[in-house]
Each structure stands twice: as structure tokens, then as C-alpha cells.
Structure 1
Amino acid sequence: MDIIHYNEKLLPMKDFETIGLAAGGQLLLNVDDLKALLSGRRTGLMQLHNLEGENIRIKSMDAKISLKPDEAGKLNLMIHPVYKKPVTPSFLDDAEAAKLEKGEVANYLKKTTDDLGNTKEILVEFDSETREFIVSDTEKILAPDMVNLQFLTAAQKENYRKGKEVTLTDKTTFAYSGADAKGIRANKLALVASILIDGGLTYVVYKGLNRLFNQQRNDVEAGKLSPGYYNAVQDAESERQRVPNQMSRSYTRNGHR
């Protein structure tokens, strides 16, 4: 689930201007890509222009971008180009890497150790657009407390963080995906996720969701949403009107591929 993590005013505007994504102090990004960035996620694939580095200059290239804060909290712009050959992480064997690349499996759950020797659980996926392995720390994956006004059980939250599918009584099925632009896939075109923050509910209205991994979907059936969804949308709108200046309290994510 995506909640706004970064302040738009703190974006490295000069870096955006350097790659043609800002001009005159104004960002040249669509709403979905901006929200993805501010939520700590990658944007969709886009064309960047006039990239310069040490002994290299690229007129244009397709890539995704993201933000990464340094130790001081300064936001750095990260560029994720399309790789000809993906670099396989050390914690994947060749067979696992091949299955991810071929789209035979959605993800692998792995345990690894950090530089301090601490064990952590990670979810590994493959981004077919950039041909890059995506690694998510499961402890940092934020599971919603409710979806379509239905509370998730502890087991459902754990399954969500581990990249497994979660099904509600209203027949909505969804799953986390670090490789998806919205961070979540579903058998429905839309859903409303909610999480308790600082004693209040934050609502995220997702529209135009991509289908679940390797599953067919009839858009007519996928567009038949439950009463819980519509009631949650009304609650999200009421919350937005109550705190109109707090973007993270309620927002809508539109568009799908």
C-alpha cells in the first residue's frame, strides 16, 4: 500500500530539469508518476533526454525513476534504465532467476543478511519493462488495515507482505507487487485500501489496477465492484473534505496499462 512519504517541495528539481522532467521550476510528470515517486515507488517507463555522466552522454533513453534519501534525508534521483541483460542477485540461483525472467512465477521469498549480520526477509520480483530484479524488504511493505471497509486479519496482512494473494468476502483478490507502478494488483479494476495512522484512517483509492500475475481478467466482471468499495469511496471523499490540505490522507490513483 502506498502512502505519501516525501514532500514535493524537497524534490531535487535541478536533477529533474537535467533529464528533461522539469522546466522553470515546474515538474513535467503526470499525476500517477508523481504520486509513485512521493510514495517511495518507481514511476512508469518514460523517455529521458540529454543524460550526462563521467565520459558519457546519452541523447535519450527509456527508464523509470525513483527517489532515495541519503543519511541526511536529502532526496536523490535514481534512474532505472532498461537492461539488455539483467544482473542476477546472489541470493537467487539460475533456475529461480530464469523462472522470474520468463514470468513463470510472480516472486520468491528469501532470507538474507545485511552488513551487520542481521537476518531479513526479502521479496524478489522481476520488472519485465526494465529487465531488472526488484527486491523489497518485507518489513517495510505496508499492509492495509482495511480494503473496501473489510478488516484484514493478521494472517492476511502477513500474506500481503510476503507477496501472496489475499481474497476478501466480497470476492476482491489483491496482492502486493513491487514491480507494478501502483504497488498492488487485483482481480478488480478498483479498490479502496485504508490504514490507521496517528489515530485516524488514511484512504487510498486505487483505480485502473492491473490484473493479478499471470491471470486472465474480464474487464466487465472486474468492473463490478462491491458495496463496500463504494462506501469506502464515500468515506475517503468525506475525509478529503475534512482535511483538504493533507494529500496523504486521501487520494486517487488513476490509469492502467
Structure 2
Amino acid sequence: MNLISYNENKLPIEDLETIGLAAGGQLLLNVDDLKALLSGRRTGLMQLHNLQAENIHIKTLDAKISLAPDENGKLDLLIHPVYRKAVTPSFLEDNEAELLQKGEVENFQKITIDDKGNKKELLVEYDADTREFIVSDTDKILAPDMVNGEFLTPAQKENYRKGKQVELPDHTVFNYSGKDTHGIRSNKIALIASILIDGGLSYVLYKGLNALFNKKRDAKEAEKLSPGYHNAVKDMQNQQRQAIPQVGRTDRAEEQSR
């Protein structure tokens, strides 16, 4: 799950204009790519134009982009080009790398030791678009507290952080994916996730989700969304309405009192 991490007003517009993804201060990104950027994920593969660095000019380049804050909190634009050959992480066995590249497995969980001697669990995936291994720290993967109005058990949350599939009583199946534009895949085209923050619920509505790894889905079945999903959407909409100031109602009350 990815709550919105960055403010759209803080995007590096000048950098985006330089590569043809903004013009006149206006973004030229589709909705899914913008959501991916603001949520700290990578966009889909796109064609960038007129890249320049150290006297090198690249007319066009197929790449994905993402954002990362610098030491001062300013957002830097990161470009992930299509590599000629994937560089295998040192902690990944050759046969594991081969299975990922062939698309025979979705991910691997690996335990490594950091510079301070602490164990760290990593989720490793392969992005065939850019020929790059995507590595996620499982401790930093945010698991939802609820999906479609159903509370997840501690075991389900742990499975989610490890990239494993989680199934709900309404037969919605989903799992985390660091290489997916949405950050989550499912057997359904949509789901709504919630997380408890300061005693309240924050909602994230996912639509147009990609299918589960190496699994075809029936379009009609994928579009059948459960009562739990629809109820969660209503709860989200009610929360949004309550957050809107009742300006018009206040004005009318003032007029009547005059």
C-alpha cells in the first residue's frame, strides 16, 4: 500500500519540462503515472526527450521515472533507463536471477546484513521493461489495516510485506509489487485499502489494477466487486464530504439571521 507521499506542488517541474513531461508549468503525465510519482513509486515506461548530462545529448530515451528527496527534502527526479543487460545483486544466486528474468517466479525474499551488522529482509523482483532488479526493504513496505472493509490479520500483513498473495473472504486476492505502477496487483480490477492513522482511517482507492503474476483473469469476474468494496467506497466518500467546509450552508444561515 502506498499513501500519497509527495505534494504535487513540490514536483521538480523544471526537470520534468527538460525531459518533455511538463510544459509552461503544467504536467504532461497521465493520472496513473502521476499517482505513481506522488506515491513514491516508478511510472510506467515512457519516452523521454532531449536528455543532457556532462556534454552528452540523448534525443530520445525509453525509461521510467521516480522521485527521491535529497538531504534538504527537495525532490530529485530519478531516471530508470532500459539497460542492455541486468546487473544481478550480489546477494542473489545466479539460478534465482535466471528464474526472475525468465518470469518463472515473481519474487524472492533474501536476508542480508547491513553495515551495522543488522539483518535486513529484502524483496527482490525483476522489471523486464528496464531489465533491472527491483529491491524493496520489507520493513518499509506499508501493509494496509483493511481491504474492502475487512481487517487483515498480522499473518496477512506479513505475507503482504513479503510479496505473497493475500485472499479475503470476498475472494479478492492481491499482493504487493514494487515493480507495478500501482504497487499492488489483484484478481480484481479495483479494491480499496485503508490504514489507521491517529485513530482515523485513511483510504486509498485502486482502480485499473493489473492481474496477478502469471495468472489470466476473466474480465467479467474481475469486474464483479464485493459489497465490502462498495461499502468501503461509501465510507471514503462520506469521510470526504465531512471534510468539506459547509460554506454555502453557513452563508444561508447568516442571511436568514439578518
- TM class by shorter chain equals over 0.9
Rounded Cα–Cα distance in structure 1 between residues aligned with 2:181 and 2:78: 15
Q: Offset at 1:96? A: 0.5
SS in 2 for 1:135: strand
Rounded Cα–Cα distance in structure 2 between residues aligned with 1:221 and 1:32: 23
Map 1:31-70 onto structure 2 (within 5 A). 31-70=31-70
Paired residue type of 2:139: E
Paired residue type of 1:243: A
Q: Offset at 1:69? A: 0.9
| TM-score computed with the length of structure 2 as normaliser | 0.92
Who is 1:251 aligned against? none
Rounded Cα–Cα distance in structure 2 between residues aligned with 1:243 and 1:63: 39
Rounded Cα–Cα distance in structure 2 between residues aligned with 1:207 and 1:133: 26
Map 1:150-169 onto structure 2 (within 5 A). 150-169=150-169
Q: Percent identity?
A: 71
SS in 1 for 2:117: coil
Who is 2:2 aligned against? 2
SS in 1 for 2:35: helix
2:194 is the counterpart of 1:201: no
Who is 1:255 aligned against? none
Who is 1:241 aligned against? 241
Of 66-75 and 92-101, deviating more is 66-75
Rounded Cα–Cα distance in structure 1 between residues aligned with 2:24 and 2:81: 25
Q: Output one character per residue of 1:84-126: Cα deviation in whole Å (capped at 9) or x when no partner.
A: 2111111111110010000000000011122333221110001
Q: Output one character per residue of 1:54-88: Cα deviation in whole Å (capped at 9) or x when no partner.
A: 13111011110000112221111000011121111
Query: Unpaired runs of 5+ in structure 1?
Result: 246-257
Q: Offset at 1:240? A: 2.1
Q: Output one character per residue of 1:33-67: Cα deviation in whole Å (capped at 9) or x when no partner.
A: 11111110001111100000113111011110000
Rounded Cα–Cα distance in structure 2 between residues aligned with 1:141 and 1:46: 26
Q: Offset at 1:212? A: 0.6
Residue 231 and residue 45 in structure 1: after superposition, are their counterparts in 2 closer, same or farther (change >3 A)? same
Who is 1:225 aligned against? 225
Rounded Cα–Cα distance in structure 2 between residues aligned with 1:89 and 1:243: 46
Who is 2:254 aligned against? none
Query: Unpaired runs of 5+ in structure 2?
Result: 246-258
Q: Offset at 1:7? A: 1.3
2:83 is the counterpart of 1:102: no
Who is 1:89 aligned against? 89
Rounded Cα–Cα distance in structure 2 between residues aligned with 1:218 and 1:164: 21
Rounded Cα–Cα distance in structure 2 between residues aligned with 1:14 and 1:119: 40
Of 74-83 and 197-206, deviating more is 197-206
Who is 1:124 aligned against? 124
Count of residues paired in the alignment: 245
| TM-score computed with the length of structure 1 as normaliser | 0.92
Q: Output one character per residue of 1:21-40: Cα deviation in whole Å (capped at 9) or x when no partner.
A: 11111111111111111110
Rounded Cα–Cα distance in structure 1 between residues aligned with 2:66 and 2:244: 26
Q: Indicate the RMSD between aligned Cα atoms, in angstroms.
A: 1.2
Q: Of the two, which has the highest radius of gyration?
A: 2
Paired residue type of 1:218: D
